[in-house]
Amino acid sequence: DTAVSQTPKYLVTQMGNDKSIKCEQNLGHDTMYWYKQDSKKFLKIMFSYNNKELIINETVPNRFSPKSPDKAHLNLHINSLELGDSAVYFCASSQNGWGYNEQFFGPGTRLTVL
Amino acid sequence: AQSVTQLGSHVSVSEGALVLLRCNYSSSVPPYLFWYVQYPNQGLQLLLKYTSAATLVKGINGFEAEFKKSETSFHLTKPSAHMSDAAEYFCAVSDNAGNMLTFGGGTRLMVKP
């Protein structure tokens, strides 16, 4: 049973399109995250949600809109895709409220914008 | 603000040799520190974490790390490298509320036969 799953694994699309990435965790965790890994492998937090409430939004363009329909899901919708959005996007989850809790990562979604 | 610096974006060792991957952190509060490993085309997997209990932390696959407050370091070591250790390694620091991880730039470990 996969703990944190993401779909799709690969996404190739044209500039200007709108796309979504879905994330689900079956660990019963309260907190979920989106991270972006660029071509140099640098990882940066984009959003974090706790109990469906947005906690962190790290100066991400408002073309990116996370949506958490319930605690187990955190989807990422991207409008008007740009070349610079090409990256690997990771979803993660952890138990609520404490920095010592491990984050569990999904397998990633490789987004390529042409 | 918290930050993490990993010295050496690429480290190459021979199979059976000591692995040492360096990590220095900056944090205004006692840190929670993590090492994650990323194999090609995969997500991140936790190797070990420091949560202010023991300063020497043992993790999976024979890795360990030592927290040194005076040096603001959390270097990762393994006594004997194996070919299967070849991967990207990330050091990270967490804020107290668990709202985010701040990652270092990563170190690619290459293991020569």
pLDDT digits (tens, 9 = 90+) for A15-59: 999 999 999 999 999 999 999 999 999 999 999 998 888 888 887
Q: What pLDDT score does A114 carry?
A: 96
Q: pLDDT band at residue A97, thresholds of 50, 70 and 90?
A: low
Alpha carbons A11 and A73: distance in angstroms, whole number: 19
A94 bridge partner residues: A31
Sheet holding A19-25, edge to edge: A4-7, A19-25, A73-78, A64-70
* CB spacing of A102 vs B101 below 8 angstroms: no
What is the pLDDT tens value at each position of chain B, 113 positions in all?
889 999 999 999 999 999 999 999 998 777 899 999 999 989 999 999 998 878 999 999 999 999 999 999 999 999 999 999 999 999 999 987 878 899 999 999 999 99
Chain B residue with CA closest to A36: the answer is B103
Q: Which of A24, A41, A53, A54 has the highest number of chain B CBs within 10 A, making it the mutation to test binding with B?
A: A41
Q: Which residues contact B51 (CB under 8 A, 6 or more apart)?
A: A100, B32
Q: Which of B39, B96, B100, B109 has the highest number of chain A CBs within 10 A, making it the mutation to test binding with A?
A: B100
Q: What pLDDT score does B27 carry?
A: 83
Q: What pLDDT score does A1 carry?
A: 66
- 3-class state of residue B47 by DSSP: strand
Contact B72, B50 (CB under 8 A): no
**Chain centroid offset of residue A58 CA:** 13
In this structure, what token pair is assigned to residue B90?
């990330």
Contact B86, B17 (CB under 8 A): no
* A2 pLDDT more than 80: no
Which of A43, A98, A108 has its CB closest to that of B103? A43
